Amino acid sequence: MISTATPINENFRLEALKSLDILDTQSEKEFDDITALANFLCDTEVALISLVDNDRQWFKSKDGLSIKTCETPRENSLCSYAILEPKKPLIIRDTRKDERFNANEIYLEDKPVIFYAGIPLIDKDGFALGTLCVMDKKPRELSKKQLESLQALARQVIILFELNKKNKDLEKIQAKLKKKNEALREFAKVISHDLKMPLANIVTTTDLLKLVLGDKLDEESLEYFEYIKSSSFSMSNYISDVLAHYESENLINKKPERFHLNQLLKEIVELLSIKPDFTIHFPENNPEVECNKLALKQIFFNLIGNSIKYNDKEQIVISIETTQDDKFNYFRITDNGMGIPTNKLDSIFDLFTTADTIDRSGNKGNGIGLSTVKKIVESLGGSITVTSKEKEYTTFDFSIKKYY
């Protein structure tokens, strides 16, 4: 055999091969199915997905060989010869009668390679990475249909290579994002600690100055003091919301509990210090649910809180309903508040996106609460949607996957 079978674009070809990050990986059923099918269609003894590396050919999949054989030297490789002309298959009816290969008998394990058919595996840039090949210990011919089938399977191999590469790239991106997210979470903790204390001092100092100065302050000065105080509270709430967004992941790993929903809702109402101008309709029959209780509490705390904040009616009315099936718990919360503009419905769950609406106290939202709700809901295997009509109502429907 000619041992110096090297494509003219060898350096670029090897770079393309290594970029797939597939050499020396574990066997995979998707590839093994292809070699098994190639053997069956061509009625041969051995089928390989062979990748031609710098000094070896490595088998991503093999059918008809022992589990131990994963590679052979490139200098004894028919596949390294097949990639010299990527645009056409290499078909050798009898290697013993081919002057390119008859100098020495060719063996793979203990099997003589007499018949060989190799289809070059061509990537999107035209580089031949290796072959999908079939072999036999006796002279053979392939029909036109068999050859076409082998070429079709080779194209599927390339598709699988590309999918594997995309999946690995996504895994790397996810790992980087996870690392950045952890850094942001730590940053949020630092911000919460380092900024909230000075803000608390500003509020305290403001009240102290008002007390000390007493009658010396005119109405305009008092308004400035109130502005400083309210701004400090707004900033403190903003920081708390940022921290809650990044801490929400800690809720997801809590064990599921079985509890009565209405009891949980009443606890939230007490935490929110609801005023007399508020009416809430709990689900009938006080249904029992099983899920992550702390996570569900955080979801309802945000949604009920928003229903109160963004409500311009004299009497706030909120209704909560729930149903379930074999896989999910379903929840609905409806209020009679300000509603959400139609052009904001598609983006209302995006981080730092607001409906540009001033709340009941004259403040503007920070766009963190609903993104946190969506993050928690999706982490619990569910989804959330919103429907709304300005000046009339807003309804949030969300689901949480059951635990079994």
Domain ranges of the chain: 10-171, 254-404
Concatenating the DSSP letter of every residue in 236-269 gives: HHHHHHHHHHHHTHHHHTSPPEEEEHHHHHHHHH
Residue pair 138/94 in contact (Cβ under 8 Å)? The answer is no
Q: At what angle do helices 369-379 and 219-247 cross, to 10 degrees?
A: 10
Rounded to the nearest integer, the mean pLDDT of the chain is 85
Place of tokens 């249909």: 145
pLDDT tens across the length of the chain (404 residues) = 545 568 888 999 999 999 999 999 998 999 999 999 999 999 999 999 999 999 999 999 999 987 677 888 888 789 989 999 988 999 999 988 888 777 677 888 778 899 999 999 999 989 999 999 999 999 999 999 999 999 999 999 999 999 999 998 888 888 888 887 777 667 666 666 666 677 777 778 887 887 888 777 787 777 777 777 776 766 666 566 656 655 656 666 667 888 999 999 998 888 776 677 789 999 988 999 988 888 898 899 889 988 988 898 989 999 999 999 888 999 999 999 999 988 888 888 886 566 656 666 656 555 567 888 898 899 888 999 999 999 999 999 999 988 64
CATH superfamily of 254-404: Histidine kinase-like ATPase, C-terminal domain (3.30.565.10)
* pTM beyond cutoff 0.85: no
Closest Cα partner for 65 from 115, 116, 114, 109?
109
Q: How far is CA 203 from CA 11, 69, 116, 192, 232, in A?
A: 68, 74, 84, 16, 7
List pLDDT tens digits, range 230-280.
767 666 665 666 566 556 566 666 678 889 999 999 988 887 766 777 899
CB atoms within 10 A of CB 211: 8
| Alpha-helix runs per DSSP H in 214-346 | 219-247, 249-252, 261-271, 293-309
CATH superfamily of 10-171: GAF domain (3.30.450.40)
